[in-house]
């Protein structure tokens, strides 16, 4: 397995990315080769400081950086030697099986769509979040930010994409699909959610269980919860806010500790022809480690190929 990592991405690059890469290399027992995309001199210097042999990695010199302030689309033409650009090139050429970054999310989305391309039949790719539930299980929430405004058919496809991700990567048998709404009854919601409800009822490829209210997001009433990216991002940031408040108040709670994004690391972009995983911009070494381990899971389970097969 060849895993690509954007060493230059994120708030604490390159050190935390390289520490996470070293830990991932050990956790994977050398079953995977990790490609490091970034400034070669800087990478070798940091690996030396960590007393890690650079021979255990494949270093790809890509000295330019797409910062969080860069415009995603313009950055690709202005910075052709950026770590994100070169990493996605390697993925499109089949030199790596998956590419992961904690860098500019917009650039990763734009690059994934235009360099890797969308799977035929997929209207809009999307990203997910893992929601810890009180019963110890996990739910998938999508979309969480890449599509603020959605048509009914787009939301219906999110249900299909989320179902495939839950089944093939999270190993949930016949995942239950719920539609995030303001009431449990079929007639509840705005015109969009009412239209989506009817479409999901008629979609034979998924197991639709009806509307999910906000109070049921964390109760595992559904394995996959569908919403537009605007709503999903609000829910995700609310969960992060609860975690931060609990930590600030000095409360140590086993369940709420699961809201720490470091435990999940990253999430794949669903609906493109390759495996691309996005991590949190403020990731530490633990988050980078978990992002790379999840990237390995996504690639090992051939997620993009299975989605492509279903949509074909």
pLDDT for res 73: 86
Please give the share of the chain, as a percent, with pLDDT higher than 90: 83
**What's the pLDDT band for 264 if we cut at 50, 70, 90?**
confident
Distance CA 131, CA 136 (A): 10
The CB density around residue 148, as the number of other CB atoms within 10 Å, is 12
* Span 299-303, average pLDDT: 95
Percent helix, strand, coil in the chain, to 5, is: 45, 20, 35
Cβ–Cβ < 8 Å for 4, 87 = yes
Residue 138: both structure tokens together = 């996990």
The CATH topology of domain 123-261 is Isopropylmalate Dehydrogenase (3.40.718)
Q: pTM (2 decimals)?
A: 0.93
- The pLDDT, as a whole number, for residue 93 is 96
Q: What is the mean pLDDT of the chain?
A: 93
pLDDT at 244: 92
Q: Which residues is 2 bridged to in the sheet?
A: 33
User: Does the pLDDT value for residue 28 go beyond 80?
Assistant: yes
C-alpha to C-alpha distance for 109 and 107, rounded to whole angstroms: 5
| 75 pLDDT above the threshold of 90 | no
For residue 30, pLDDT over 80 is answered with no
* pLDDT-derived band at 88, boundaries 50, 70, 90: very high
Task: Please report which helix (H) or strand (E) contains residue 108, including its range.
Answer: helix 105-111
**Topology (CATH level 3) of domain 1-122+271-312:** Isopropylmalate Dehydrogenase (3.40.718)
Q: What is the pLDDT of residue 80?
A: 93
At 281, the pLDDT band (50, 70, 90 cuts) reads: confident
Across the beta sheet with 126-132, the strand order is: 58-61, 33-38, 2-6, 98-101, 275-279, 266-270, 126-132, 138-142, 224-226, 176-180, 207-212
Quick one: 241 exposed, middle or buried, by C-beta within 10 A (0-12, 13-18, 19+)? Answer: exposed
CB contact at 8 A, 105 and 281: yes
Domain with CATH 3.40.718.10 in the chain: 1-122+271-312, 123-261
Share of the chain above pLDDT 70, in %: 100
pLDDT of residue 29: 85
Q: Which pLDDT value is given to residue 76?
A: 87
Residues 6+ apart with CB under 8 A from 12: 282, 283, 284
């Amino acid at each position: 397995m060849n895993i690509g990592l954007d060493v230059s991405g994120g708030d604490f690059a390159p050190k935390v990315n390289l520490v996470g890469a070293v830990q991932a290399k050990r956790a994977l027992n050398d079953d995977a080769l990790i490609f490091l995309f970034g400034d070669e001199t800087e990478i070798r210097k940091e690996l030396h400081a960590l007393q890690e042999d650079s021979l255990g990695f494949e270093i790809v010199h890509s000295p330019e950086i797409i910062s969080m302030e860069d415009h995603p689309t313009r950055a690709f033409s202005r910075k052709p030697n950026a770590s994100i650009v070169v990493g996605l090139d390697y993925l499109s050429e089949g030199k790596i099986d998956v590419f992961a970054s904690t860098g500019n999310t917009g650039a990763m989305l734009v690059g994934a769509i235009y360099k890797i391309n969308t799977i035929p039949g997929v209207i809009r790719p999307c990203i997910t979040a893992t929601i810890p539930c009180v019963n110890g299980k996990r739910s998938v929430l999508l979309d969480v930010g890449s599509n603020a405004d959605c048509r009914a058919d787009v939301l219906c496809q999110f249900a299909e994409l989320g179902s495939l991700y839950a089944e093939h990567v999270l190993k949930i048998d016949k995942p239950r699909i719920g539609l995030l709404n303001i009431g449990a009854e079929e007639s509840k919601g705005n015109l969009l959610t009412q239209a989506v409800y009817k479409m999901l009822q008629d979609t034979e490829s998924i197991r639709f269980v009806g509307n999910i209210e906000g109070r049921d997001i964390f109760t595992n009433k559904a394995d996959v919860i569908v919403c537009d990216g605007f709503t999903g991002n609000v829910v995700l940031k609310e969960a992060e806010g609860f975690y931060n408040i609990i930590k600030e108040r000095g409360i140590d709670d086993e369940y709420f500790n699961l809201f720490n994004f470091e435990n999940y690391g990253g999430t794949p972009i669903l609906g493109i022809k390759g495996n691309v995983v996005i991590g949190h911009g403020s990731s530490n070494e633990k988050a980078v480690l978990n992002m790379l381990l999840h990237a390995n899971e996504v690639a090992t389970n051939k997620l993009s190929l299975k989605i492509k097969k279903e949509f074909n």
